[in-house]
Amino acid sequence: MQQQPTPPPHGSREQSPSETHSKPSSTSIEAPNRDIPTPMTAIDDNAEDQRASQASPLSATAPAPIRYNPSHLAAPYPAHRFLPNTSSSLLRPGSRFKGSQTSDRQQYEVDVEIKHVDMRESFMCGYLRIQGLTDDHPSLTTYFEGEIIGNKYTFVTQHPEWGSNEKVDRQHWARFPAYKPLSKHSSRSEIVSKDWMQKEHLFMRWKEYFLVPDHRVKTISGASFEGFYYISFNQVSGGIEGIYFHAKSEKFQKLQLEHVDDHGLASREPANPLSPPTPNFPSTNLQISTTPMSKRKTDDMPGEPAKRQKREEYKKTLIENDAALPKKKFYRQRAHANPFSDHSLTYPTSPADMDWASLYPIYAVKDDEQSKPKLTSHDNDPEEKRTAIKALTKNVEIADIGCGFGGLIFALAPKFPDKLILGLEIRTSVTEYVQEKVRALRVQNAATGAYQNASCIRANTMKFLPNFFQKAQLDKIFLCFPDPHFKQRKHKARIVSYTLNSEYAYVLKPGAVVYTITDVQDLHEWMKGHFEKHPSFERVSKVFEEGEGDNGEGMDECVRLMRGETEEGKKVTRNNGMKYVACFRRLEDPAWP
C-alpha cells in the first residue's frame, strides 16, 4: 500500500516546495561514502542545474522540477569537481608493479606494492623489494614515501638532506621523454599544476626510509637506501620509469616497472590509512651492521652466461683464423677500474725477471746461455711448468699507460719501427683485444715484419711501474685521456700526482718526454700544475705541442698522432670537443754536491 502525503493542519499557511525540502541548520547531514572532495580551479556550473531538474520522491505528484537551495547541500554535495584519492585504477592501494633496476652491467629484480595514495595531499607510500643485492641478504624490503608533483610539490626537490639540487633535478627529469614539454617552466619553484588528473604521465619522487620488518637496521653491507628515485608513471599503461640518485653512488641507475594485473581483486588498504600497514612480503632476517654502505652491486646479471658463451664461441673462430682482426663488441668493458683494488695481476719482482721474449719474439736473445734462471716455486713438484725468462736484444722505449683499445700503439708502430712499444692497460677484456689485434696484424704483415715491435700487457702502473722498467729506460710516456675522477675524494686515483711523477722521472731518460692529452680542462690544469711543480720536468715549447700556421708546422709527430689516432681522440673529434695537450721534458738530474 502506497503511503499518502500528510495534509497540512488547518490554519497554517501552505509551505513552498523549497521550504518543504529544506532542513534546519542544526540537522546533521551524513556525507555519502565517496572519495574526499577537493576544490579544483574549474567549477562545474551544470551540477546545480542537474540536481534542480530531478523530481522529489516525497512529492505527491512531482509535476515540475524543484529547485533546491544550494547552501543547504554545500557540505555533502559541493558544486566543485571532485579529486579522487587515486589517480587511476592502476595507482591505488593494493596495486603491484614488477620489473628491474639496472646498475652498470648488473640487473636486479624489483617488486613494488602501493599501500596508500592520497592525491589531495600529493602523497603515497608502499614497499619496495629488491632481490640479489648481496649474498647475505638475497631479498631486501624497504618502506618508501612518494611526493606527487602537482599542486603541493614541484619538480625542484625541497629536501637538502637528500643531496640533490636544481641542476641535479634537471639532469634526472630530462631523462624522461614525457618531461621534455615541461622542461622550460618546471624549474620555477612557484609553478604548480593542478590538472595532473588529465595528463597521461604523473611525476613523483620516491624516498626509501627504513627496512622492513626491522626498522632499526640502518646499514646493510653491500646495499644502500640513502638515495631516492625520480619517477614517471604512465596513467594509461601503468608503466613506471625511474632514475635512482645518490651523491655517492653510480649515476642514472634505471628503474623499469610494469603493472601486475590483479583481475579486479579488492584493495588491501588498512582501515586506517594514516597508520603504517603490515607488509605482505615475507620477513627477512637482518643483522645490524656498522660497515659503511656501498652502492647496490652484484657480480652477475641475467643474460651474462649467454653473453659469455657468445664471446667464447667468437674467440674460437679467431683461433681458426689467425689473420682475422678482433671485433670490439666482444671485448667491451666498463671504462673505469679502481686502481687501489687487489686485482689478480702477474708482474715481475724486477725488470730483469720480466719475460719480454714472449711479447717480442723476433727480438729475443737467441743464445741459450743468456736465459735467466727459472722462477722458483713453493711446490717441489718436478712436473710443474716453469717459465724461462729471456732477455731482448733491445729494451722497450715507448710506453702508453692506459692504452685502451690500442689506437695509439698501432699508429706509432709503423712510425717508429726500430723502437719497442708497450701498452699497459688494467682492464682484462680490453687488454685481450689489443693482444689479439697485435697477433692478427703480425700475421697479416708477416712478409714485412710490421707490428713486431708492438705489444700490450695487463698491468696497474700506479702500483707496479718500476717492476717493469729500469731506471732511465724509456724515451716516451703517453698519458692519453686518463680517467678524470671528477669527485675531489677520487683525485688520489688520478694517474698524475707528485708521487707518480717521481716514478715517471725514474724510468725516463734525460731529455725524454711525457705526453698528456685530455678533453677535461680541470684535469688538464691538474696535470699541468703537478708536472710544472716537479723539479725533474719542464714544459716544452708551444710549437712542439701545437705547431705553427694552419697546417701545424713544427708540431711533434707524436702529438699529431696522439690527437687523431687514439680512440678517445676520435670520439672527441666527432663531438666537436676540445683537446688539451701538455708535454713535459725530463731534465738532467743535478750533480751531487
Instruction: Enumerate the active-site residues.
Output: 483
Q: Which three cell numbers stand for residue 218?
A: 640502518
The alpha carbon dihedral of 13, 18, 22, 24 has a sign of negative
Dihedral class, residue 362 (left if φ above 0, else alpha if ψ from -120 to 50, else beta): alpha
Say whether 461 counts as a known binding-site residue.
Answer: yes
Q: How many CB atoms lie within 10 A of CB 440?
A: 18
Q: How many CB atoms lie within 10 A of CB 564?
A: 14
Say whether 238 counts as a known binding-site residue.
Answer: no
Say whether 426 counts as a known binding-site residue.
Answer: yes
Q: Which three cell numbers stand for residue 449?
A: 715484419
Say whether 567 counts as a known binding-site residue.
Answer: yes
C-beta separation of 144 from 208 below 8 A: yes
Say whether 384 counts as a known binding-site residue.
Answer: no
Name residue, grid cell 678524470: 484
Burial of 155 (0-12, 13-18, 19+ CB in 10 A): buried
**Cβ contacts of 469 within 8 Å, gap of 6 or more:** 351, 396, 399, 507
Instruction: Give the start-end residues of each E strand in 213-264.
Output: 228-234, 240-245, 253-260
Query: In this structure, what is the dihedral angle of CA atoms 389, 394, 398, 400, given to the nearest 10 degrees?
Result: -20
Say whether 460 counts as a known binding-site residue.
Answer: yes
Indicate the DSSP class of residue 199: S
CA distance 464 to 126: 51
CA distances 573 to 322, 564, 567, Å, are 32, 8, 10
Say whether 445 counts as a known binding-site residue.
Answer: no
Q: What is the identity of the amino acid at 118?
A: D
How many Cα neighbours within 13 Å face the side chain of 351?
13
Q: What is the identity of the amino acid at 373?
A: P
Sheet holding 396-401, edge to edge: 454-458, 420-425, 396-401, 474-480, 508-518, 580-586, 537-539
Say whether 480 counts as a known binding-site residue.
Answer: yes
Name residue, grid cell 613506471: 240
The alpha carbon dihedral of 332, 333, 334, 339 has a sign of negative
SS3 category, 212: strand
Look at residues 151, 337, 157, 143 and name the one whose alpha carbon lies nearest to residue 230: 157
Binding residue positions = 402, 425-426, 460-461, 480, 566-568
Binding residue positions for S-adenosyl-L-methionine = 402, 425-426, 460-461, 480, 566-568
